[in-house]
Structure formats: C-alpha cells, structure tokens
Amino acid sequence: MTLTIPFDNSYARLPNAFFARQSPVPVRAPKMIVFNDDLARLLRISPGDVQDMAQAFAGNSIPEGAEPIAQLYSGHQFGQYNPQLGDGRAVLLGETVGTDGMRRDIQLKGSGPTPFSRRGDGRAWLGPVLREYVVSEAMHALGIPTTRALAAAETGETVFREGPMPGAVLTRVATSHLRVGTFQVFAARGQLDSLKRLTDYAITRHYPEAEGPMGLLRSVRDAQASLIAQWMSVGFIHGVMNTDNCSIAGETIDYGPCAFMDTYHPNTVFSSIDQMGRYAYSNQPDIAVWNLAQLATSLIQQVDDKEAAVEEATEIVHAMPDMLQQNWLTRFRAKIGLTTAEDGDLELITGLLKRMAEGQADFTNTFRALGSDAARDQFLDPAAFDGWEESWRARLEREATPLDVTTAANPTFIPRNHRIEQMIQAAVKGDYALFHRLSAVLARPYDEQAGAADLKRPPAKNEVVHATFCGT
C-alpha cells in the first residue's frame, strides 16, 4: 500500500519571488513515531505501509504531486526588523483540499537547510517536534484555531544544540503559512506587484468576502482578536509573537518556547530568549495590536491614495484593543458561568484574577473547580477567595440559566510544562509511552478521565519548568 496525498497546489504557482524551490534533504534512518489518522482522513490522505510513510514524512521520498518549496518572509523579531527570514528548516510539500472543502498546507519541519537557513543546519531535534505535536493537537482539542500535526518521524541522525540530540521531523498542517512577515518582505523591498499579488491571493484563500487591502486588514484583525482572547482564556503563552510567527489566517502557529501557566500571574514569561518580558502572558493583546499595525503599514504601500489608506488603517487598528477586551470578557464571563453582560463583570473577573495572583492559585484548576470547595483550596490563604465567591454567587443569582463552568469554558487537562518535559526526557531514551498517553488524554481536555488525575496536578517544586526554548 502506497502513501497517497491528493495535492492541489496553489502557492507554488505564484511567481518565483515568493519562494525557493527546495526539496527536503534525506536523512540516514527514518522511523515513524506517530501518524495522525483522524487528520489524515480529513485531508483525504491514504496512508501507506510504515516504512513508506517514514520515508515520506522524514523527507527521503517526495510524494507524487508534491511541489516542495521554502517560503520567503521577513519580520520583526522582538521589535527589531529582520529584512529576510523565510523557511530556514521547513519545506512546504504542497496543499490539499479536505473533506470539509478547506485548503490546507502540508509542511515538513526540520527537513534540512534551505536558501533561507541563515547558516543554520535546517534540522530539528526530537524535543521541540514532540512538544509541537502534543501542544498543537491539544490546542485543536480545546477548540482554539491552530496548525495541526500530521506525523512525526525520527531521522536516525544527531542534531547539535546545547549538546548532541536525536533528530526528528514534524509534518505540520495549516490553513496556510502566510504570516504578517510575508507581506512585510515585499513592502520593505518596494516590490508592489508581488505585494498586490500576495494580497489578492490571501483574500481569495482566506477571506473572499474582504474588499481590497483594508478589507483584508479588517478580517485579519477580527481573526487575531478572537484568537488572542482564546489563548488568554486557557492560560496559554505563545512565547515568541514576532510578526513572522503571526498567521494572517488567525491560527496559532510556531510552537517554540510556548507554555501553559500553572500558577497564575499576569507577568508570566517562559521563553528563555524573552529577557525583557515583551511576550509575557498579559502583554499578548498589546503585541497582537502592534503586529496588526505592522501588517497595516505593509498593506498601505500598494494603495494609490495613501492618505485615505492611512486614515482607514488607523481606524481599523485602533478598534482592535476594544475588540480584544470584549472578546476577553466574553471568554472569561463563560469561565465563571455567566451568559449575560453587566457593567460590573470586568471588576468581578479581574478581582478573581488578582486574588489568584496573590494566592498563587493554579489557573486551570481554579476555574475548573469554581462552585466546589476545591476552588478555595487552590489559594495559599483560602479565606481570600471567600469574599470574591460571595460576590460571584450574588451575580449568578441574576442569571436565568448560569453556565456549567466545567463544560467547554474550562478544561480539566492542559499540556502542563513539567509533563511535556518528562515526555521529552523519556522519548530521548526511546520511551514514547508518556507521549502517547498525553496525546490520548489531551484529545478530550474537557472530560473527566479515569486514571488520569496525575495529569491534572500542578508541578511539585522540583518539577517546575522555569524556561522553555525554541529548539532551533
């Protein structure tokens, strides 16, 4: 049985200025770790035998119909503009149209050097590959827009980072890999024909109802405002919200030094490279607005009436903070069981969060336990929760049908950092049991699951993960 992927490529038909044609670089001894059967069915992929798939998903063989390319983009990295980035360790094999009618990219990540590698080896080691597989699939199960993971394969080769590491390749699926930085590179170079072509392509692929560059900007704003509010509602910290990691499709993309909070604090940072806290948990809404402003600056370049475009783009960008706030409020109202809106809801929610920060309460477990004694047990001083609970219950009495807070607003399982690290350490030694267990439990994050109580537990002091790494 041969692996069959029904490719229907569109980006590879754009001019060569948009990418470099690049095949994956073969590896020594490919071996499958995991294949996502459910996602494969959605993509209309027919799996082959294990060795056939290992060859394809490690980059040793190119499936029929693929047109491998490395995409060009630039971007602001921690506020500093880098004029050329691009896929330095990834190859886009091509696109499929799924059973749901949606077009998606299939990309190999860690597939070897490309013209955009910037002296890097183009490879990935096992840890970040497994992290992205587990966390991206967990995000999908949480109902949050995200890239997904189709497969992971060992390469049988060693990758050198802080030391020798086993190599691996991730097969990533996205509704596209178009980023804010994809627009920035053509705007910065003054290549307006390419910028216009890209804008038209993005509208056709993602937002066919949008009219022109400013219509695209509005659509991206709306998608990002929704996405960031969803991140905040589950305690997710992206860790590296550079413009090259900001999808114009409104999906979570590029799971590098990402993490979910255990103990709640608004200034939480996990990324080892974010020394100034630019991408801290509480800064994510502001950074999303900043990133949108960079997209606006790029899109304006192609408009003849610059003055009118600047005025309209300013209006669009300036509307985003309030939109983010309203989306945030909607999400957090649901997390405390509210279906209606009252003026005091913001103060009620922030009052709980303030007590959680002061009381070192676990973010996920506190919200999941609201309405039970287990909620107050999350706080160093449980009495600090009691006053808030009294106000909360009074507010609930004004709800005709309050939500059950244990439903789709508050997961019981998240990819906790210490479990991810334990999974990676075991996998490096050849033990994938925890990887498969986490994948299975996190596929049902809102369900209570027998035998999985340990995966709800916050880390002990000696298990706390203080920093996460890009892994590049």
Q: Which residues are catalytic?
A: 244
* Strand pairing category for 164-174 and 236-237: unpaired
Instruction: Enumerate helices (H) and strands (E) in the chain, giving the number of each.
Output: 15, 12
Q: Is 96 helix (H, G, I), strand (E, B) or coil?
A: strand
Q: DSSP letter at 271?
A: B
DSSP3 helix / strand / coil % (the chain, rounded to 5): 45, 15, 40
Whose tokens are 């809106």? That residue is 341
Q: DSSP letter at 175?
A: S
Task: Give CA separation, 465 vs 257, 264, 462, 470, in Å.
Answer: 12, 14, 9, 14
Tokens of 84: 């050329």
Task: Give CA separation, 225 vs 93, 137, 212, 215, in Å.
Answer: 30, 21, 20, 15
* Strand runs labelled E in 194-297: 236-237, 259-260
